[in-house]
């Protein structure tokens, strides 16, 4: 029973972080029709920058229990790279998807070198900061309160994002743009500005996701690609462009990964991608995606 | 108000528009008629900035539109109801019609603009909460025209407002256009069926293979057998 609960809690924690990155990927694809492989790089950058910012803040005298707000702020500050990268992507908006994939993959490689240049090749971590908030018992398993806070934070972000898209005027304009860009322009919307806002939002979701994960595991150069592999599994399972799909896909991948690590660690990716293949065969549009016309 | 001068547009090396010249004055209803493929939609899409001309001019209220993006053209006061309606399926009818008041808040109060849109097509009030995918072709046309009207435009472009509609719904659309006309709204309407041209249209341009082959009143067109041969078989 304890092993099952351990898998469940570990899976939900990973799903919470994965959801943030996948939500960024989904909203960017939904509105801009760009498959952004660089979402993994934003995640890694959020993790590295989070380590640096929190380490600096602690040295400057920040009480350890305040590290979480600083970590979140470090992820949010990285929003500044969103408009810069979006400017670069404008060159491929109207081109074939292969150009978009090549350009965003080039960004992954470039970010990897940038991170190597600033932080070196060795993984960076935050020590035992994850235990600052203590532990909570659940079904015979001790869980860091930090993990509970991250899960709650991700749920809150999912609810806010859902409310923003469904209930606000700007959210409705974003949904209209996702459905029909040309018509939205004919209603007076500057779609270039929408692209900047959406891409920046996608970037922040990735960087905050990376910042959230770094107290529990080290920031490393491999984490961008590892995350992209999982985020794409989330998107295929949940359905491309669907926020509900991102949530469902993240839960499936998070739980599959936790179960595989606990039972057959070697088969982690194999088990996830078996589900991906099954979904592609049985429901190609994913659990919540719209079937292709 | 709107002046197209010797407008030429190529698409993939094909000459789609060849020296199109037309005018729409303040408060006028002007119709552009021609067979499918004659270049009517390309003319409207060029005005909206979706197509860039190879040569010629497009001016609205004395301002050139040829180098402006679509959203800036709309903000100058041009509303567009496209041939395919392009109603957002993910939004309700009410949201579709309110959207222009959020995207272009300048001008008359939003409530007044929305009320006017429903006044033109009162039937839409029954479908306010319905999603855009749950509408018939005629209902989608009504939403599309009402939505363009909610922009509070100075000029309304209607692309084939009767295209693909069942005969039962055509009088509703026709009455709606007549009501828009009564408001003093300037309208440029593209149409492929001569029978759908309103009797009180101020001017008619007949288009054939990307060229304007006739410009005049509907009465003058009816007296010209060569023109009638083209537009009678236009559908």
Say what the pLDDT of residue A293 is: 52
Position A209 in a domain = yes
Looking at A43-52, A127-136, B36-45, which range is the least confident one? Answer: A127-136
Query: Mean pLDDT: which of A44-53, A86-95, B9-18 is highest?
Result: A44-53
Query: Which is more confident, A128 or B91?
Result: B91
Which chain B residue lies closest to A172 (C-alpha atoms)?
Answer: B91
Instruction: Output the CA–CA distances (angstroms, integers) from residue A45 to A4, A279, B166, B182, in the order listed.
Output: 33, 31, 57, 60
- Contact with chain A for residue B2, Cβ under 8 A: no
With respect to residue A290, please indicate whether it lies within any of the assigned structural domains.
no
The interface predicted TM-score of the complex, written ipTM, equals 0.91
Cα–Cα distance measured from residue A285 to residue A292, given in angstroms and rounded to the nearest whole number: 7
The reported pLDDT for the residue numbered B235 is: 45
Q: Is residue A287 part of a domain?
A: no
Q: What is the pLDDT of residue B76?
A: 94
Please tell me the predicted confidence (pLDDT) of residue B161. Answer: 92
A93, A32 contact by CB (below 8 A): yes
Domain borders along chain B are 2-232
- Which residue's entry shows tokens 């939205």? A184
pLDDT score for A266: 84
**For residue A292, what pLDDT is reported?**
59
- The fold of B2-232 is Rossmann fold (3.40.50)
Residue B153 in contact with partner chain A when CB distance is under 8 A: no
Cα(B92)–Cα(B81) distance, rounded to whole angstroms? Answer: 17
* pLDDT-based confidence at residue A33 (cuts at 50, 70, 90): confident
A104 — pLDDT class (breaks 50, 70, 90):
very high
User: Cα distance from B157 to chain A (closest Cα, Å)?
Assistant: 11
Q: How many domains does chain A have?
A: 1
- Say whether B196 sits in a helix, a strand or coil: helix
Does the pLDDT value for residue B7 go beyond 80?
yes
Q: How confident is the model at residue B193 (pLDDT cuts 50, 70, 90)?
A: confident
Shortest Cα–Cα distance, B27 to chain A (Å): 22
Residue of A nearest to B48 (CA): A186
Average pLDDT rounded to a whole number, residues B50-64: 94
Q: Which of A180, A188, A190 sits opposite B100 (nearest CB)?
A: A188
Among the ranges given (A251-260, B108-117, B173-182, B192-201), the one the predictor scored with the smallest mean pLDDT: B192-201
Angle at A188 between CA A182 and CA A193, to 5 degrees: 80
Q: Write out the residue range of the structural domain in which residue A167 sits.
A: 2-282
* Mean pLDDT along residues B22-40: 92
- The answer to whether B105 contacts chain A (CB < 8 Å) is no
- pLDDT tens-digit series, residues A165-184: 999 999 999 999 999 999 99
Closest CA in chain B for residue A166: B91
Average pLDDT over residues B153-177: 91
Average pLDDT over all residues of chain B: 91
How many Å apart are CA B199 and CA B181, to the nearest integer? 12
User: Which CATH number covers residue A26?
Assistant: 1.10.3470
For chain A, give the percent of residues with pLDDT over 70: 99
Cα distances (Å, whole numbers) of residue B106 to B75, B153, B183: 9, 11, 20
| CB contacts, 8 Å: B75 with chain A | 188
Report if residue A291 sits inside a domain: no
The answer to whether residue A182 sits within a structural domain is: yes
């Amino acid at each position: 029973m304890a092993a099952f609960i351990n898998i469940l809690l570990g899976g939900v924690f990973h799903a919470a972080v994965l959801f943030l990155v996948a939500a960024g990927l989904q909203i960017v694809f939904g509105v801009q029709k760009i498959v952004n492989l660089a979402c993994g790089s934003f995640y890694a950058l959020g993790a590295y920058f989070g380590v640096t910012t929190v380490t600096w803040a602690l040295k400057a005298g920040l009480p350890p229990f305040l590290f979480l707000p600083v970590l979140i702020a470090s992820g949010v500050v990285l929003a500044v790279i969103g408009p810069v990268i979006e400017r670069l992507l404008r060159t491929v908006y109207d081109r074939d998807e292969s150009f978009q994939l090549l350009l965003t993959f080039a960004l992954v490689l470039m970010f990897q070198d940038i991170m190597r240049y600033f932080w070196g090749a060795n993984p960076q971590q935050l020590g035992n900061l994850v235990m600052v908030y203590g532990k909570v018992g659940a079904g015979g398993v001790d869980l860091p309160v930090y993990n509970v806070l991250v899960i709650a934070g991700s749920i809150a972000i999912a609810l806010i994002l859902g409310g923003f898209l469904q209930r606000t005027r700007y959210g409705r304009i974003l949904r209209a743009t996702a459905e029909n860009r040309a018509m939205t322009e004919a209603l007076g919307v500057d779609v270039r500005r929408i692209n900047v806002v959406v891409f920046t939002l996608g970037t922040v979701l990735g960087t905050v996701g990376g910042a959230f994960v770094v107290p529990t595991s080290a920031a490393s150069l491999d984490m961008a690609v590892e995350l992209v592999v999982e985020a794409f599994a989330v998107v295929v399972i949940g359905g491309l462009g669907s926020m509900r799909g991102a949530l469902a896909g993240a839960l499936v991948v998070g739980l599959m990964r936790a179960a595989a690590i606990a039972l057959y660690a070697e088969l982690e990716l194999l088990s996830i991608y078996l589900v991906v293949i099954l979904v592609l065969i049985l429901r190609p549009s994913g659990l919540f995606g719209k079937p292709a016309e | 108000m709107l002046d197209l001068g010797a407008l030429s547009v190529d698409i993939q090396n094909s000459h789609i528009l060849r020296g199109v010249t037309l005018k729409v004055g303040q408060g006028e209803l002007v119709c552009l008629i021609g067979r499918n493929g004659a270049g009517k939609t390309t003319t409207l899409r060029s005005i909206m900035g979706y197509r860039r001309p190879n040569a010629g001019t497009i001016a609205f209220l004395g301002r050139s539109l040829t180098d402006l993006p679509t959203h800036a053209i709309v903000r100058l006061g041009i509303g567009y109801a496209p041939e395919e309606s392009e109603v957002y399926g993910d939004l309700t009818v009410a949201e579709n019609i309110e959207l222009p008041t959020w995207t272009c808040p300048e001008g008359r109060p939003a409530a007044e603009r929305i009320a006017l849109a429903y006044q033109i097509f009162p039937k839409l009030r029954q479908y306010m909460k319905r999603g855009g995918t749950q509408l018939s072709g005629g209902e989608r046309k009504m939403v599309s025209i009402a939505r363009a009207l909610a922009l509070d435009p100075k000029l309304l472009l209607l692309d084939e407002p009767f295209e693909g509609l069942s005969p039962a719904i055509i009088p509703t659309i026709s009455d709606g256009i007549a009501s828009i006309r009564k408001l003093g709204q300037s309208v440029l309407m593209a149409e492929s069926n001569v029978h759908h041209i309103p009797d009180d249209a101020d001017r008619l341009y007949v288009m054939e293979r990307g060229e304007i082959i006739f410009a005049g009143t509907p009465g003058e067109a009816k007296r010209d057998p060569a023109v009638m041969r083209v537009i009678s078989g236009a559908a």
